Chains A and B, each alone.
Chain A
Amino acid sequence: MASVRLVKVRKIFHTPRGEVTAVDDVNLEVRDGEFLVLLGPSGCGKTTTLRMIAGLETPTSGEIYIGDRLVNDLHPKDRDVAMVFQNYALYPHMRVRDIIAFPLKIRKYPQEEIERRVREVAEMLKIEHLLDRRPRELSGGEQQRVALGRAIVRRPKVFLMDEPLSNLDAKLRVVMRAELKKLQKNLGVTTIYVTHDQVEAMTMADRIAVMNKGRIVQLGTPKELFTRPANTFVAGFIGSPPMNMIECSLDEGKNLLDCGALKYRLDPDAGLTLRSKGVTEVILGIRPQHVLIERGKRPDAVAQAPIYVVEPMGTETIVNFKLGETMIRAVIPADIDVEAGEVWNIVFPRDRVYLFDKKSGELVA
């Protein structure tokens, strides 16, 4: 087992169109035995980061440690990491048995040991009946298990997983998500897991590092990211449906946020904080789950508006309001009857509102 540490790691790719900074001075410490998820949109540098840890890419600058060992110039075979690829990357010409045995075979383990370990791993992953098949005779889920088996069999210090569930159908993905998490806890191996799926990240991770444009924009537990998003990017990326973001400007005299079609009265503390930081242009964020709607008139309503679209989801209903140019979404229980065109009062509970600096995108209050 080992921790993984990245110190000011940077990767620049030279393309015909010039230099592209894929990873920009990333600092990250993954604790021993931790399940850490690198989360971000495509092109944010998360896969490149993972590939640098695996040794498939060389960092342009910075240091990568596995345990206490600097591994920048180490061949993958000496890093003792195992990787699960998005498309599984099974050896097409081998039988499952040989694929799982491959990492041991090239390390010249004795034959009995190889057989014993392959059997163990196959049992653990419930693929004993597939050992004599070839990859093309397996379903996506089965290939996924074989890829996991090849990673597990070696008992590496670190697992690296590059979107391993993204090629599975939705149902299987949910099942594998739980199994993978349980497996990781049982084995206790430090795991770095790359995904663009925030649900996957939230459900599996001990901690999540959210990446954007080559940088880590926030690192924290799933709960922290959800309740205290550090900036608009994280706030918009995590949670479904995404957080409502409304551009407002501060009306200092009245302690009021003027957001075009809606007005939001600040509590005095928030107003003070904004003023002390000199922020006058604000992005108001509130999760759809926290938006309240009422038929009757309320003094604290931020706006009164007709329903634009209703999206029933089964257990809950998403209600969309259109206020000028901004759309506001509210998630309400499915047993409340709503219809498009009806006029409702919209309420933003104060303790659920996030205020971001419009310029920097950082959370202010």
Chain B
Amino acid sequence: MFLLPSLALLVGIGLAPFFYVLLLSFHRYRLTWTDRPWEFVGLDNYRYVMNWERFWDAAWNTIVFAVGTTLLSFAVGFALALFLSQRFKGRGILRALVIIPLLIPPVSVGLMWRFILHPLLGLVPWIIKNVTGATVSFFETPAMAMFSLILIDAWEWFPFMFLVLLAGLESLPREPYEAAYVDGASRYQIFRHITLPLMRPVIAVAILLKFLISLKVYDIIYTVTTGGPGTATETLSYLIYRQTFAYFWVDRGSAMALVYEYLIILFAVLFVKYALVKARMG
């Protein structure tokens, strides 16, 4: 009885939309077809998506993007966390400064960087040109565009990695460090034999979270490259958005969204099962 309100809420905002999308994916329907009923087509939408090269290209782009930004933001975040977990004057201010990128709305981040990297108006190309004489175009080639997106996203997200990893570092027990110190370990040896193994579960969680978040990337693509040049930086969520709300193919979009969702869930389950459990076991 007392569960009813929350149950209703769960069904209303959680399950209902899901089943609506599930239903849609088995029909043929376009948003502009106001006078035609839904036509049941079975697995046609799925068959179409599975055989559609652009879908798989987008999937590949998504993975390249997610791997790149996860590794980059992890490397920067971890290095900073290690640095700022030491005791020194001004640490608090530096810690606060590091967080800033996380506080800027993603759309602003995208627009800001699009401007900074702009071939004609941007600050970075201008500096590079004046220092080296070379003209660099950050969004012209597919590889450069992807690289720039990874750079921008990692810039936005390294504070997140930093925070998670710093919290992990700060909660490590002190005693093993003192023991290792007296045992004669150097700073590098302490990092290698004490910090890294003790941090493994935290690192695993941070990377998993960031990777899953990166797989869903949309805002930065939308504001910086809109998937271009061509479809070189089109990720799955951006493709789904375009199909559904630009071309109004909600049926195909639904099918893609569901496939996409299952892939992510599958990945997350595998990751938790292997990486996380293994990290905890040591």
Contact = CB atoms under 8 A, between A and B. Distances in A.
B181 interface: yes
Contact of B197 (A93, A103, A106): A93
A103 B176 contact: no
A54 B184 CA distance: 11
A203 B183 CA distance: 28
Interface stretch (B54-62, B68-76, B85-93, B186-194): B186-194
A89 B178 contact: yes
Interface string B191-202: 001100110100
B194 A91 contact: yes
A77 interface: yes
Contact of A56 (B173, B181, B197, B200): B181
Given A77-B186, A106-B186, A106-B193, A92 B173 contact: yes
B67 interface: no
Contact of A82 (B180, B182, B186, B200): B182
B178 A85 contact: yes
B179 interface: yes
Interface in A76-97: 76-77, 81-83, 85, 87-94
Contact of A89 (B179, B186, B197): B179
Point out which of A54, A77, A88, A154 has the most chain B C-beta atoms below 10 A from its C-beta.
A77
B180 A91 contact: yes
Contacts of B185: 77, 102, 106
B282 A107 contact: no
Interface residues of B, number: 19
Contacts of A77: 181, 183-186
B197 A87 contact: no
Interface in A145-162: 150, 154, 160
B176 A91 contact: yes
A134 interface: yes
A85 B184 contact: no
Contacts of A106: 183-186, 189, 193
Contacts of B35: none
A288 interface: no
Which secondary structure dominates chain A's binding surface?
A: loop
Contacts of B180: 91, 102
Contacts of B39: none
A55 interface: yes
B175 interface: yes
Interface string B154-184: 0000000000000000000101101111111
A160 B182 CA distance: 10
A89 B175 contact: yes
Nearest to B197: A93
A85 B185 CA distance: 17
A154 B182 CA distance: 12
Nearest to A80: B184
A82 B180 CA distance: 10
B184 A92 contact: no
A55 B183 CA distance: 11
A83 B189 CA distance: 18
B182 A56 contact: yes
A81 B183 CA distance: 8
A82 B184 CA distance: 9
Nearest to A150: B183
A141 B184 CA distance: 25
A94 B179 CA distance: 13
Contacts of B182: 54-56, 76, 81-83, 160
A301 to B, nearest CB: 56
B176 A90 contact: yes
A92 B178 contact: no
Interface in A56-110: 56, 76-77, 81-83, 85, 87-94, 102-103, 106-107
A150 B183 CA distance: 8
B175 A102 contact: no
Given A92-B198, A106-B189, A107-B184, A87 B178 contact: no
A56 B178 contact: yes
Contacts of A87: 175
Contacts of B282: 93, 134
Contacts of A93: 197-198, 200, 282
Contacts of B176: 89-92
Contacts of B189: 106
Interface in A191-239: none
B184 A76 contact: yes
Contacts of B179: 83, 85, 89-91, 150
A213 B107 CA distance: 61
Contacts of B183: 77, 82, 102-103, 106, 150, 154
A137 B15 CA distance: 44
Interface of A: 54-56, 76-77, 81-83, 85, 87-94, 102-103, 106-107, 134, 150, 154, 160
Interface of B: 173, 175-176, 178-186, 189, 193-194, 197-198, 200, 282
Given A92-B173, A106-B183, A106-B186, 16 more contacts: A54-B182, A55-B181, A56-B178, A83-B178, A85-B175, A85-B179, A89-B178, A89-B179, A90-B179, A92-B176, A93-B197, A93-B282, A102-B183, A106-B189, A106-B193, A150-B183
Top 8 A-B pairs ranked by shortest CB distance? A77-B184, A89-B175, A89-B179, A103-B183, A93-B197, A83-B182, A93-B282, A76-B182
29 contacts: A54-B182, A55-B181, A55-B182, A56-B181, A77-B185, A77-B186, A82-B182, A83-B178, A83-B182, A87-B175, A89-B175, A89-B176, A89-B178, A89-B179, A90-B179, A91-B179, A91-B180, A91-B193, A92-B173, A92-B176, A93-B200, A94-B197, A102-B183, A103-B184, A106-B184, A134-B282, A150-B179, A150-B183, A160-B182
